Amino acid sequence: MFSDLDKLILLQITIVKRHNINLRGLNELCKSLPTTIKNINIVFVILEDRISEYSCIQSVPEAKDVKPRSMDLMINQFCLVLTEETMQSMTVDGAFKDGGVGADESGSRDNDGGDMVMGSTQ
């Protein structure tokens, strides 16, 4: 996640063909953000060898469903295609020090109890 005064960028690395966005999680996230956020950009990061399987637009909530009283919120989606070698070169070795609430000893929160915006991957 990256945010500046008017933009929020969410990254989701996925290997599945369809990856819907959790509306409830996105609503909760927006409540905690400054009201200056006018653009939410959702970037789906996929492997190059899966591009043919991932050619359709994903199901993303409409702005009016995320912030009902906001007339100027825009939600856009993008696809960032990387090679497996590029993704491997960006990995971080070792366990996470603090994965937050619900994390196991590796720092992973591999569950989707409704609190995650992007949901879980397979």
SS3 assignment for the chain:
CEECCCEEEEEEECCCCCCCCCHHHHHHHHHHCCCCCCEEEEEEEEEHHHHHHCCCCCCCCCHHHHCCCCCCCEEEEEEEEECHHHHHHCCCCCCCCCCCCCCCCCCCCCCCCCCCCCCCCC
Residues 107/99, Cβ–Cβ less than 8 Å: yes
> What confidence score (pLDDT) does residue 9 get?
92
Q: Which of 71, 78, 93 is nearest to 11 (CA)?
A: 78
> Model's pTM, two decimal places?
0.66
- The predicted-structure confidence for 75-117, as pLDDT tens digits, reads as follows 888 889 999 898 888 888 776 565 555 555 544 444 444 444 5
> Stretch 65-73: mean pLDDT, rounded?
80
Instruction: Pick the more confident residue, 117 or 49.
Output: 49
Least confident of 24-28, 62-66, 108-112: 108-112
